[in-house]
Amino acid sequence: MAGAVRDMTETAGPSAEGVLRVGVVGVGVMGSNHARVLAGLPGIELVGVADTDRKQADFVARTLGCVAVADVGELLDLNVDAITIAAPTHLHRDIALAAIARGVHVMVEKPIASTVEEGREIIAAARRAGLTLMVGHVERFNPAVEAIKEAIRNEDILSIAITRVGPFPPRMSNVGVVIDLAVHDIDLIRWFTDSDIVEVQPQLSSAVAEREDIALLQFRTASGVLAHINTNWLTPFKARNVTVATRGKYVMGDLLTRQVTECFGFQPDGSYSMRHLSVGHAEPLRAELLAFLRSVRSGAAPPVTGEEAVASLEIAAQCLAVRPATVAPAKRKAPSLVAG
C-alpha cells in the first residue's frame, strides 16, 4: 500500500492518453477544494460542478471556469469520465450508484457511506462495472503520515496513539466524532500496521452535542498492536498527533506542522538518540486526486480501496454499537450545533 502512495508523480500516470473529463458533486467545504485542485491538474478538464445550492455551484463554477449544474444527473449528461463526490455522507451511495450506472469512475469522500451495507453496495456496483472506486482517506497522503509509515517500515510495532481534537465544526452533519474524525485514524491504524482491527474497546460521551462529541477508543490488531484514539470536538484548538512505539524506535508526528521525530538507539543507561525526519510538502488532496486519476487511466487498484474504507467504517460502527452501555448522560444541550 505504501508503495502506491509513495510512487506518485506530478502527472496522472505514464499511460495517460488524452484529457480526462472530470466533475465534482457537492462543492461545499471539501468539494470546492476538490474542484480547485482538479482545475489545476495537467491532463484533466474540470467539466462541471453539481450542487443543489445553486448559488454555491455558480460561485465555484464561475471562479474555476466550468459549468454549474444542480445534480449528479445533469453532471453525468456532460459526458464526464470520472467524478468526485463530496456531498453529505448520507447521499454518497445514491450519487455513486448513479455515476457507476453510467460507466463513470468514482472517488467518494470519507466515510464511504452512512452504513457498511451501503458501502458494500457501492463496491459491488463498481466491481461489476469494472470501474475505479477510491475513497478519500486524505490523511494517507499527508507527507507527515507518509514519513511515519516509512519510519516504521520493517519495525516491530507495539502501540499507536493518535490524538485528533478540535472545536465544534461550524456546520455539523448528523454524525458524531467517531464517524467524522476517528474514522481517519482507524484507517491509519489499519494502514500503519497492515493488519485488521480485531478488538474494540470504546468509551464515548456526549458532553454538549446530541451525538458523541468525545471518544476514547482502544483497539487491538490481528498482528497484536495496541492502539488508542483520543478525539473530541471540545478542544479550543486543532491538534493531530501520532506516536508509534516499536521495539527499536519511538516515532512522534504532528500532522498539522508536519514535524516528525524519531527516538532510537535505546541504551541500558536510558540514553537514546533523536532525529527529525525529512517530510515532503505536497498538498495531500492534490496527491490523492492524482492517485485516483492515475488509477482511472491505468486500471490499477487505487491506493485507498472501497474494501479498506468499509473495513474502517465497520470498526467505527462497532465503536458506536456499544454506545448505550458506555455513554455518559448529556450535561448540556446545544441543539443549534446539530443539523440532524
Ligand X SMILES: NC(=O)c1ccc[n+]([C@@H]2O[C@H](COP(=O)([O-])OP(=O)(O)OC[C@H]3O[C@@H](n4cnc5c(N)ncnc54)[C@H](O)[C@@H]3O)[C@@H](O)[C@H]2O)c1
Write out the residues near ligand X by the rule CB under 6 A: 25-31, 50-53, 56, 71, 86-89, 91, 109-110, 136, 138, 171
Identify whether the C-beta of residue 218 lies closer than 8 Å to the C-beta of residue 189. no
- C-beta of 141: minimal distance to ligand X in Å? 10
- C-beta of 63: minimal distance to ligand X in Å? 14
Question: What does the alpha-carbon distance between residue 160 and residue 17 come to, in Å, rounded to a whole number?
Answer: 42
Q: Which residue is nearest to ligand X (CB)?
A: 28
- C-beta of 240: minimal distance to ligand X in Å? 11
Nearer to ligand X, 245 or 304 (CB): 304
- C-beta of 92: minimal distance to ligand X in Å? 6
Q: Is the link from the previous residue into 42 a cis peptide, with omega within 30 of 0?
A: no
Tell me the Cα Rg of the chain: 20
Question: What does the alpha-carbon distance between residue 157 and residue 167 come to, in Å, rounded to a whole number?
Answer: 31
| Residue found by looking up cell 499507536 in the block | 160
- C-beta of 236: minimal distance to ligand X in Å? 20
- Cα 236-112-74 angle, rounded to 5 deg: 105
Q: Which three cell numbers stand for residue 132?
A: 475505479
- C-beta of 276: minimal distance to ligand X in Å? 26
- C-beta of 203: minimal distance to ligand X in Å? 23
Nearer to ligand X, 106 or 157 (CB): 106
- C-beta of 206: minimal distance to ligand X in Å? 19
Nearer to ligand X, 136 or 176 (CB): 136
Nearer to ligand X, 183 or 225 (CB): 183
Nearer to ligand X, 50 or 279 (CB): 50
Nearer to ligand X, 151 or 175 (CB): 175
| Residue found by looking up cell 506518485 in the block | 8
- C-beta of 265: minimal distance to ligand X in Å? 36
Nearer to ligand X, 97 or 245 (CB): 97
Nearer to ligand X, 27 or 244 (CB): 27
Nearer to ligand X, 30 or 255 (CB): 30
